[in-house]
């Protein structure tokens, strides 16, 4: 486990702002700088440096999938032989219809150890996608956990 990085007060203010929605307008990073009491150069240097070191994975828009017509999603819990985990993880992670893919430890009577989140426009399309993923992967031990209601969905805020 890596050690938590120490950030200066201005870096914490910048990161606190950019973790949420970027300001609207033609120069959002200049507005971030103004809000944080920093220079535009400080904002861009911090973000660029964190990206180069792999501390920031990406900067991008977050699609609200339900409002964009993707009304069905399900977590699929798969059983994968441990020696095949890397290959299956890479297979599922490369699929465009999957937004999340995690290897987790199985426990007690729950045998599943690989979890994927599948998104589709309808429940039928979601079921068809899962069936196709099972066929392509060769996995036949899985359980589909359909999302019924979203109580909370946010990105983690660290500052």
The H helix count followed by the E strand count for the chain is 5, 4
Q: Which two structure tokens, joined as six digits, stand for 11?
A: 């870096």
User: Which stretch of DSSP H or E encloses residue 10?
Assistant: helix 9-18
pLDDT tens column, 124-148? 999 999 999 999 999 999 999 998 8
Q: Tell me, what's the pLDDT at 63?
A: 60
Q: Tell me, what's the pLDDT at 22?
A: 84
Q: Which residues of the chain have pLDDT under 70?
A: 1-2, 60-70, 156
Task: Answer whether 0.85 is exceeded by the pTM.
Answer: no
- Ordered by start, the domain boundaries in the chain are 9-52, 72-146
Q: How far apart are CA 116 and CA 72, in angstroms?
A: 14
Alpha-helical regions (H) of 19-143: 28-36, 40-52, 85-93, 123-137
The CATH T-level fold of domain 72-146 is Alpha-Beta Plaits (3.30.70)
């Amino acid at each position: 486990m890596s050690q938590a990085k120490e950030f200066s007060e201005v870096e914490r203010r910048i990161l606190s702002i950019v973790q949420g929605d970027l300001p609207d307008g033609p120069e959002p990073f200049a507005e971030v700088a103004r809000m944080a009491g920093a220079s535009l150069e400080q904002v861009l240097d911090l973000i660029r440096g964190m990206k180069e070191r792999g501390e920031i994975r990406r900067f991008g828009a977050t699609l609200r999938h339900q409002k964009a017509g993707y009304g069905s999603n399900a977590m699929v819990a798969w059983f994968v032989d441990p020696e095949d985990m890397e290959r299956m993880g890479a297979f599922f992670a490369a699929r465009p219809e999957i937004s999340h893919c995690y290897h987790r430890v199985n426990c007690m009577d729950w045998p599943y150890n690989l979890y994927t989140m599948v998104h589709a426009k309808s429940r039928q399309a979601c079921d068809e996608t899962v069936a196709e993923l099972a066929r392509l992967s060769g996995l036949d031990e899985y359980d589909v956990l359909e999302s019924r209601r979203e109580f909370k969905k946010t990105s983690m805020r660290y500052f």
